Structure 1
Amino acid sequence: MSSHLHPVLPWAVRRTRLPLLALRCVDCPSGHAAVGDGRFRVNANGKLLDVWLLVNCAACGRTGKLTVHDRVQVGALRADLLAGYTTNSPSLVTDTLLDPSIARRNRFALDWDGCWELDASPVPDDPWPVRVAVVFEDPVPVRPERLIARGLGLSRSEIARRVKIEIPLNRRTRHDFSFVLVCPAG
């Protein structure tokens, strides 16, 4: 895309809360668990540690455990990491929940619906075309088509006609991108 287009409008995507986990509850058919209050459980068995992140079902409130470390030597964990687990560090809760290896290990996916907001500069009436630079302040996976529709209030068909973009509109991304909005017909 040409960089000489004017103006360049900044948009920012921000996480508003932690996502829900798409994780089956053993007590109810809801299929979603919330993070709860972000507590870790550390259990020592001799020189071995187990670390879990506790989560609660959004529907029934049942507490479940996500395995973070299983039977790891006490000395194998960095002191600051172990301190974060024992003090329930909010940033460590976030990092743990968003870690793809934890999701794979515990067989859950993240449900990002309603977890992000778009700070979008308004599009001026003139001059055309307009270039929009989208920056992700948090790694929130979102479809560009959905994000553009939210920011501009355009239908999918109008987005297809008026938006020039170098990435797929219907494939989720969490990386910065830009697009060009051309003048409406008429």
Structure 2
Amino acid sequence: MNSYGKALWVVKELGLPTIIKACVTCRTTRHHHPTGKFRINANGKLLDVWMLISCDHCDRTSKIPVHERINVKDLDHERLLTFENNSPALVRDLTMDAALMSRAAHRLDWTGTWELETDMPFHDIRSQGRAPLEVLVRFELPVPVRVERLLMAGFRLSRSAVRDLVGSGRIRLPRPLDAKAHEDFTLFVTSDGS
């Protein structure tokens, strides 16, 4: 069996995605960013929790429902405290929660939120005789990035060169080249396509 060299690529976080939703003041679809605050409303034994977001154009504040009409007893006390204390970590997590945004009928724009950092010096993987390489791709944030785009950035190759290497078996992937990855995975570069 081949002995693989190892490399680490990290999809580094540059910022949170913007939230695309219609602004009732601007009357158009605008980018919104979290304000860093939550609003909690109690009605007897029921709670509503919203994450507050602000329109980039007019600064209007809107709400994204996190919990609606939840019984106080059903919400973990520690989680309630994170809402009450406007936890930056919770704001970060909820902003990137695609399921939450989908339920609220909003989309996420990941433009400018990431960059690829590699721990390997540049070398031409297309040359024969290169030692096999195992590359761990780790995500600091769940940004959906096409595998092909990661390979182009990581190896500094054109789209056609990446496709040729994958087609010849020199680069082995755990998912299709045109798939969007957002979780850690490992790829392998062989010396001869075997």
* TM-score interval, smaller chain: 0.7 to 0.9
Per the alignment, residue 170 of structure 1 pairs with 178
Identity of aligned residues (%): 40
Runs of 4+ aligned structure 1 residues displaced above 6 Å come to none
Distance 1:50 1:161, change over 3 A: same
Deviations 1:114-160 (A, max 9, x none): 11121112233585155232122332221111122222322111111
Counterparts of 1:179 and 1:56 in 2: how far apart (Å)?
40
Q: What amino acid sits opposite 1:93 in the alignment?
A: V
TM-score, L = length of structure 2 = 0.81
Conserved 8 A contact 1:21-1:34: yes
Q: 1:47 aligns with which of 21, 24, 45?
A: 45
Deviations 1:22-66 (A, max 9, x none): 222222224321123x10001112222111000011222211100
Per the alignment, residue 130 of structure 2 pairs with 128
Unmatched 5+ residue regions in structure 1?
none
Matched, 1:139 2:138: no
Conserved 8 A contact 1:34-1:55: yes
Q: What amino acid sits opposite 2:25 in the alignment?
A: D
Per the alignment, residue 7 of structure 2 pairs with 9
Q: What amino acid sits opposite 1:51 in the alignment?
A: V
Unmatched 5+ residue regions in structure 2?
none
Answer with 18-27 or 63-72: which moved more. 18-27
Q: 1:151 aligns with which of 144, 150, 154?
A: 154
Q: 2:114 aligns with which of 113, 116, 137?
A: 116
SS in 2 for 1:168: coil
Distance 1:71 1:27, change over 3 A: same
Per the alignment, residue 89 of structure 2 pairs with 91
SS in 2 for 1:31: strand
Distance 1:122 1:130, change over 3 A: farther
Q: Which has the higher strand share?
A: 2
Conserved 8 A contact 1:162-1:182: no
Query: How many residues in Structure 1 have an aligned counterpart in Structure 2?
Result: 180
SS in 1 for 2:123: coil
Distance 1:109 1:4, change over 3 A: farther
Conserved 8 A contact 2:18-2:31: yes
